[in-house]
Structure 1
Amino acid sequence: MATLARRQKFPFPEIPEWFETFPARFAMPTMSDLFAVRIEDYTEGDRYVMRAELPGVSPEDIDVAISEGVLTFKAERTEHEAEKNRSEIRYGSMSRSVTLPPGVNEDDVKADYTDGMLTVSVGLAREKAEARHIEVTHHA
Structure 2
Amino acid sequence: MSSLTLWQRDPFTEFDALVRRAFGPYRADERFAGFVPTAEVARDGQDAVVSLDLPGLDAGKDVAIEVERGRLVVRGERRDERTGERGRREVRYGAFRREFVLPEHVTADAVTADYDAGVLKVRVAGAFAETEPHRVAVTVGGRPAVTGGEDGTDQNA
- Provide TM-score, normalisation by structure 2: 0.57
3-state secondary structure, aligned to 1:107: helix
Equivalent in the alignment of 1:12: none
- Please provide the CA RMSD for this pair: 3.0
Letter in 2 for 1:68: R
Instruction: Indicate the residue corresponding to 1:121 in structure 2.
Output: 123
Moved beyond 6 Å, runs of 4+: none
Residue 91 of structure 1: how far off its partner (Å):
1.6
Q: Structure 1 stretches of 5 or more lacking a match?
A: 1-23, 134-140
Three-state SS of the structure 1 residue aligned to 2:109 is strand
TM-score normalized with structure 1 length: 0.63
Tell me what 2:77 maps to: 76
Offset, 1:38:
1.0
Q: State the alpha-carbon separation in 1 of the partners of residues 81 and 45 from structure 2.
A: 40
Indicate the SS of the match to 1:97: strand
Q: Which residue of 1 aligns with 2:35?
A: 35
The higher radius of gyration belongs to 1
CA deviations on 1:85-118 (whole Å, 9 max, x unpaired) are 5241222111110112454343121111111111
Q: Which runs of 5+ in 2 are unaligned?
A: 1-23, 138-157
Counterpart for residue 65 of structure 2: 64
Secondary structure in structure 1 of the residue aligned to 2:25: helix
Q: Say whether the 8 Å CA contact 1:105–1:124 is kept in structure 2.
A: no
Q: Which has the higher contact order (CA 8 A, sep 6+)?
A: 2
Aligned letter for 2:62? Answer: D
Shift, 1:127, TM fit = 5.8
Native 8 Å contact 1:74 1:94 kept in 2? yes
> Over residues 68-99 of structure 1, what are the superposed CA-to-partner deviations in whole Å (9 max), with x where a residue is unaligned?
32111111111123323524122211111011
1:90 aligns with 2:92: yes
2:122 partner amino acid: V
| Partners of 1:42 and 1:66 in 2: CA distance | 19
Question: Per-residue deviation at 1:27?
Answer: 2.5
Q: Secondary structure at the match of 1:124?
A: coil
Cα separation, 2, equivalents of 1:61 and 1:49: 21
Aligned pairs, how many?
A: 110
